[in-house]
Amino acid sequence: MANKSLATPVGALFGPNFILITVQDDNGLSFPLQIYPDANNPLLKENGLATHYYFQPQRVYLAKKQNDPGSYDFGATIFKGLMTTEDTVGVTDDMTDSGTVSAGGGFCSFATTFAIPDSVIAKATKMLKAQDFPAPPHFGKFGHLFSIGANDPTPQLGIVPIVSNNVTLDVVNLAASGTTKAPFVVNSTGPQKGSIEAQSISAFLVSMNMEAAGALVGSLKQGISPFNVRYNTTQQFYINAIDVTIHVDMTKAYDAFSAALSVNYFGLVKANLSEAWSNCVTSGAITTDMKMGMADVDPDLKKMVMQQVQDLQKFAMDAVTKDIFNFAPNSTPATTDSNSLIGVSVKAEQDRRTDKFDLALHLETSVIIAQTAVGDLNELQPAIKADLNKYLAIVDIGEYFKKIQMAATNNISWSEKMSDGSDLGDPIKSVQVQASYPDFTNPVTNNQVNLVSQAQGFHYVVGKKDPKGPGELAVWTKDNPNDIINISFLRMAESKPQWDADQLKITKTIVYDGSDPRVELSSGKTVITLEEISKNHAPVITADEVGYVFVKFLIAQKLPPNISMTLTCTIGNRKDILPTITAANQKNIIWEIFSDKYKDATSFQYDLQVEVVGPNFTDSPVTFGTRSPVTVPLPTGKSKYIPGLTMPLPEMTPDQVTTINKYIAATLAPAATPAPANA
């Protein structure tokens, strides 16, 4: 019996003497409470003191955030990324597959507790005070422990003292759902030893590969939890004096233990003690008689003692296991965790004990019982459906490691040999490119963009790339015409009013060949620098950047060898006489100008003069030509391009036509074969 001499609480009275009440918190969430009375409540009441009660944790709940009590301490993150060497810092070619790095996965962190909200404790206390709870069966046997008068002090309600707390997390097993090449992988970490204070907050982290994240986080998104949290606790209760006689049948005990063993390759055994105890009780290997004074213990109390009181279980199991196992096989001492014997070996049959014997145990004052509280976290469902973004984050894993990269090429004709031997390569000696982008740390200073410029870059050609190659001056010449030049910057975290995060300032410097007559810059110099701000990250530098006129002339007739032409082209104040046109080069009649002077020109003129010579040295040549320059319209813009302009033959007199045809026929006639010398 409880201590009658001191009017103090002694602890929750162990036994089938509890009530069950369900209380809702301020948000409508239900909390079932299994409440035990203090063993000394009658003495406390007799002395006008508040009676004491203890609730036993039945469920594990999601904890609330300390800085946001209205929100659960739960967060799931899905991360995914499609990264390339162009847009992500740290990604190199040897990391990619088909040019990209594809990655994805997820993790989930949360905290749990078996604390009951203060509002629930307050409501439950009022129910105890008002005696407003359903009476369980046999309440008449222990109802006096819950008796509270209208004028009695307000009762005190707290948690049963927790002695130990082993925390486990169960995650749905998805191993069979994947394939060898695409398995479902889930890893979880959390405290093995949970807190024993009233809050008992435990934190967990679950990491998942891409396949598992899709399944688990998809389930959470629908408000269905794939997790179970277990608080495997031992709790301290007060118990009135009980004398226990334990009857052991060793033959049956050996059979009961056999079902709870696992053997490794070395013959060493791991024995599950909980399973073995259950087998012993079920099979009759262990039976008990219990008395409280001279009276038999109530059957319900006896059942609870057998199932929950660890003092009894440990006392009996220690006596049985020493006669079944060797505890130092192969000179390696066995170890014992909270529920297993590890590294033991089974005794040989001739060494086993097969008799029956009795053990005596006296339980009094306090006992340690085992109890497991489980939580499935489903209270999160309405919160997720109300505000999914509060609990689920979807992250682009390359977002904070982005870079902006320019991959520049050129379309300069560094050398272009025509069939007649002429070189129509562009009159350019070199081209340099420079890229500018806001400084990552201080992109804007005093409301002005703080640009950082780079004139060096990484050179490579298609199909050949040395990632360890050095940075070089970002310039092209006839010696590296096919180079691709990369220049990279850390990308701004976000756009600014002064600058779009996706744009670059590109500066092009072109050095022309001043000795080439096709070049005519308004500055009188041979170097021109052009700037543009663009979202084009793959600029192509061309010869016509400054301004360009291109006309290819065509002659419908095939020229015989005795005809030559002189073509004069005029645009603005510029007049060009092209190389003499003959049968050898009539397919390559090209007029080019590299100049910024003629952007506004809308037309040009040409004059064509023709000369036809006779087959004999003394024949008078026939000349004719355009009577006035022919005006040809030009497209607008800095680049004026006419890929094919057919020039008709200038008008001729009838006599000229006759003579010209005569000359052509004689020129094209086969040469006469010389007569033999002796003819």
Q: Is the pLDDT of residue 617 over 60?
A: yes
Residue 48 to residues 128, 149, 152, 229, Cα–Cα distance (Å):
17, 10, 7, 42
**Domain boundary residue among 546, 572, 593?**
546
538 lies in some domain: yes
Q: Is the pLDDT of residue 679 over 70?
A: no
Residue 611: domain span: 549-667
Q: Token digits for 412?
A: 């300069």
CA 401 to chain centre: 12
What is the per-residue pLDDT for 65?
A: 87
The model's pTM is 0.57
- Whether 215 and 259 share a structural domain: no
- Whether 288 and 216 share a structural domain: no
- Whether 556 and 615 share a structural domain: yes
- Whether 523 and 585 share a structural domain: no
In degrees rounded to 5, what are phi and psi of residue 497? Answer: -55, -30
pLDDT category at 264 given cuts 50, 70, 90 is very low
575 lies in some domain: yes
676 lies in some domain: no
CA 209 to chain centre: 10
**Domain boundary residue among 370, 385, 417?**
370
Task: Indicate the Cα dihedral angle 38, 39, 42, 46, nearest 10°.
Answer: -80
In contact, 344 and 334? CB cutoff 8 Å: yes
Q: Mean pLDDT across the stretch 431-459?
A: 92
The residue among 140 and 3 whose pLDDT is bigger is 140
| Model pLDDT for residues 53-69, shown as the tens digit of each residue | 999 888 888 888 888 88
pLDDT category at 47 given cuts 50, 70, 90 is very high
In contact, 167 and 231? CB cutoff 8 Å: yes
Residue 649 burial (C-beta neighbours within 10 Å; 0-12, 13-18, 19+):
middle
- Whether 275 and 309 share a structural domain: yes
- Whether 59 and 152 share a structural domain: yes
Among 96-110, 127-141, 326-340, whose mean pLDDT is lowest? 326-340
Q: Mean pLDDT across the stretch 465-474?
A: 76
Q: Mean pLDDT across the stretch 75-95?
A: 70
Task: Indicate the Cα dihedral angle 615, 619, 621, 622, nearest 10°.
Answer: -90
Q: Residue type at 351?
A: D
- Whether 350 and 480 share a structural domain: no
What is the per-residue pLDDT for 467?
A: 63
* Count of residues in the chain: 679
What is the per-residue pLDDT for 102?
A: 67
| Model pLDDT for residues 107-138, shown as the tens digit of each residue | 888 888 888 888 999 999 999 999 999 999 88
Among 49-63, 318-332, 354-368, 493-507, whose mean pLDDT is lowest? 318-332
600 lies in some domain: yes
Half-sphere exposure of 365 (CA within 13 A, CB side): 0
pLDDT category at 334 given cuts 50, 70, 90 is very low
What is the per-residue pLDDT for 567?
A: 97
Q: Is the pLDDT of residue 265 over 50?
A: no
Residue with tokens 């007559």: 517
- Whether 268 and 361 share a structural domain: yes
pLDDT category at 351 given cuts 50, 70, 90 is confident
- Whether 179 and 37 share a structural domain: yes
- Whether 122 and 43 share a structural domain: yes
Q: Distance between CA atoms of 483 and 13, rounded to whole angstroms?
A: 86
4 lies in some domain: no
**Domain boundary residue among 531, 546, 561?**
546
352 lies in some domain: yes
Average pLDDT, the chain: 84
391 lies in some domain: no
- Whether 56 and 168 share a structural domain: yes
Q: Distance between CA atoms of 96 and 85, rounded to whole angstroms?
A: 8
Q: Mean pLDDT across the stretch 77-95?
A: 68
| Model pLDDT for residues 473-508, shown as the tens digit of each residue | 999 999 999 998 988 888 888 899 999 999 999 999
Q: Report how many domains make up the chain.
A: 4
- Whether 540 and 560 share a structural domain: no
383 lies in some domain: no
For 209, the enclosing helix (H) or strand (E) is: strand 202-209
What is the per-residue pLDDT for 333?
A: 44
